[in-house]
A and B are shown apart, each in its own frame.
Chain A
Amino acid sequence: MINAVGYALKNMCANPGRAGHSLSQFCSVNLYRAREEINSFFNGSGAETVIFCKNCTEALNTVIKGVTGKYDEIIISDLEHNAVLRPVVKTGLFYKTFSVSPESDEETVENFKNALTDKTKLAVVTAASNVTGRILPVEKIGKICKEKGILFCVDAAQGGGVIPIDIKKMNIDFLCIAGHKGLYAPMGTGVLIANKEIKNTLTEGGNGMDSLKETQEPVFPEGFESGTVSLPNIMGLKAGTEFVRKKNRESIYKNELNLIQHIYGGLKENKNIILYTPFPEMHKYAPVLSFNVKGTHSEETAEYLSANGIAVRGGFHCSKLAHEKLGTEETGTVRISPAYFNTLFEAKYFLRVISKF
């Protein structure tokens, strides 16, 4: 990935889709290759449905603000990130949350069904919680949305590149992805894969199309890519996605979840530790785990771990809803989220360090 970014910085120094010279065309073709790779990885319906954003938050804002109208209702889960909650609130539209069961997908689906009304226009759900790691039954929810004509948007910031996400099989209308997590891309890379029309653009400006017009058409993909795209970062995103494909996504997921399961087991034996989820079973949980040390603020624990060379995130993880659900509004939680490069040795080291706190 680093090499791909470096290559792009040296050799892709022209704005794709702006000029007609050969270097610009070279850049345009490479940008198109990146669209093809992302589209293929998530089984989308074409490279032209892949819109590059600065992050997953921008992708979510584009959908939430772009597809809803005056009398529409929105439904979201009670594990959503603020990147979903805040734009939903900003629309001023009526919204409902449905409860995600920590154990039963059937219960989650029932809760989703019960929250629907005739006015529900859009459902936005996370593929996996960034606080608890709980994987949502996206395929089942997508089927219901399709049957009822509800637009279905999936926030795959935490799940993209980690858990199985198939746009066609899961009936996903809008898939929002963060590059820097499960796809091993540089920070500041996001993607929206859009299979349904978006009526309104989030930002307008130059996009290489119809330059003499005062207005910008909401056409995919350039209609939603105002201004210059970050080509070196996108080349990094392409390389990161290829890395995940080469190493095998499922294999990476299993290795990471094994680490989380090992850590969970160790923490469970420690009477000083609070855990917030059942044992993280395969395909029910993404490799993300929240915990606390009894009577200690999460930031204090995170600081102690940092002093011992362990980087975890304390606090509230930009997720008001998830922390309200867990009852951790006062302390937050400490979140562990291993990646491909973490090892069992490091997991054991973590358990040794936390046992001494």
Chain B
Amino acid sequence: MNNEVLTGSITYAVKAKEILNRNGFKAYMGRKKDKNKSGCGYFVSFDGDAEKAKKILEENNVKFSEIH
């Protein structure tokens, strides 16, 4: 999958995945594997328009550290 949302919170990861799925994105979540400085966290991978996804997540109060 092309895009990722990163968040430290499992709650927001589940929420992001479900909202993206509800809005027609194919998304799945897992644990972050990047060498970040803060430690544990989650990614939600999805295909499609990242800008559109970002807008939807923000409208639904999903907090995330990064989307790319």
CB–CB A25/B11 < 8 A: no
A129 contacts B by Cβ under 8 Å: no
Partner of B29 from the list A25, A212, A219 (CB cut-off 8 Å) is: A25
Partner of B39 from the list A32, A46, A47, A210 (CB cut-off 8 Å) is: A210
Q: Which of B1-59 contact A (CB under 8 A)?
A: 8-15, 18, 29-31, 37-41
Q: Enumerate chain A residues within 8 angstroms of B38, measured Cβ to Cβ.
A: 210-213
Q: Shortest CB–CB separation between residue A20 and chain B, in angstroms?
A: 3
Name the interface size band of chain B: 10 to 19
Q: Which of A132-185 contact B (CB under 8 A)?
A: none
CB–CB B30/A32 < 8 A: no
A242 to B63, CA, bound (A): 28
A226 to B43, CA, bound (A): 21
Partner of A20 from the list B18, B31, B63 (CB cut-off 8 Å) is: B31
* Nearest-neighbor residue (CB-CB) of B43 within chain A: A20
CB contact under 8 A between A213 and B15, given known A16-B10, A17-B10, A208-B10 = no
CB–CB A28/B14 < 8 A: yes
CB–CB B9/A222 < 8 A: yes
Q: Shortest CB–CB separation between residue B57 and chain A, in angstroms?
A: 12
How many A residues touch B, CB cutoff 8 Å?
Answer: 24
CB–CB A32/B40 < 8 A: no
CB–CB A46/B61 < 8 A: yes
Q: Shortest CB–CB separation between residue A12 and chain B, in angstroms?
A: 14
Q: Shortest CB–CB separation between residue B27 and chain A, in angstroms?
A: 13
A45 to B15, CA, bound (A): 13
Q: Enumerate chain B residues within 8 angstroms of A208, measured Cβ to Cβ.
A: 10, 40
Q: Enumerate chain B residues within 8 angstroms of A28, measured Cβ to Cβ.
A: 10, 13-14
Residues 226-267 of chain A: 1 if any B CB is under 8 Å from the residue's CB, otherwise 0? 000000000000000000000000000000000000000000
Q: Shortest CB–CB separation between residue A30 and chain B, in angstroms?
A: 10
Q: Enumerate chain B residues within 8 angstroms of A66, measured Cβ to Cβ.
A: none
Residues 193-211 of chain A: 1 if any B CB is under 8 Å from the residue's CB, otherwise 0? 0000000000000001111
A221 contacts B by Cβ under 8 Å: yes
CB–CB A47/B29 < 8 A: no
Partner of B40 from the list A29, A31, A35, A211 (CB cut-off 8 Å) is: A211
CB–CB A212/B11 < 8 A: no
A2 contacts B by Cβ under 8 Å: no
Q: Shortest CB–CB separation between residue B62 and chain A, in angstroms?
A: 8
CB contact under 8 A between A32 and B41, given known A19-B31, A20-B31, A48-B61 = no
CB–CB A210/B11 < 8 A: no
CB–CB A209/B31 < 8 A: no
A96 to B11, CA, bound (A): 38
* Nearest-neighbor residue (CB-CB) of B29 within chain A: A25
CB contact under 8 A between A29 and B14, given known A46-B61, A222-B9 = yes
Q: Shortest CB–CB separation between residue A215 and chain B, in angstroms?
A: 11
CB–CB A213/B10 < 8 A: no
Partner of A35 from the list B8, B11, B13, B29 (CB cut-off 8 Å) is: B11
Q: Enumerate chain B residues within 8 angstroms of A17, measured Cβ to Cβ.
A: 10-11
Q: Enumerate chain A residues within 8 angstroms of B10, measured Cβ to Cβ.
A: 16-17, 28, 31-32, 208, 222
Q: Shortest CB–CB separation between residue B31 and chain A, in angstroms?
A: 3
Q: Shortest CB–CB separation between residue B30 and chain A, in angstroms?
A: 5
A219 to B40, CA, bound (A): 15
Q: Shortest CB–CB separation between residue A229 and chain B, in angstroms?
A: 11
Q: Enumerate chain B residues within 8 angstroms of A25, measured Cβ to Cβ.
A: 29-30
Q: Enumerate chain B residues within 8 angstroms of A219, measured Cβ to Cβ.
A: 9, 63
A17 to B7, CA, bound (A): 12
Q: Enumerate chain B residues within 8 angstroms of A29, measured Cβ to Cβ.
A: 14
Q: Enumerate chain A residues within 8 angstroms of B14, measured Cβ to Cβ.
A: 28-29, 32
A66 to B8, CA, bound (A): 22
- Name the 6 nearest CB pairs between A and B, nearest first: A211-B39, A20-B31, A17-B10, A212-B39, A210-B38, A209-B8
A-B contact pairs, 7 of them (CB 8 A): A18-B40, A25-B29, A32-B14, A48-B15, A210-B38, A212-B39, A222-B10
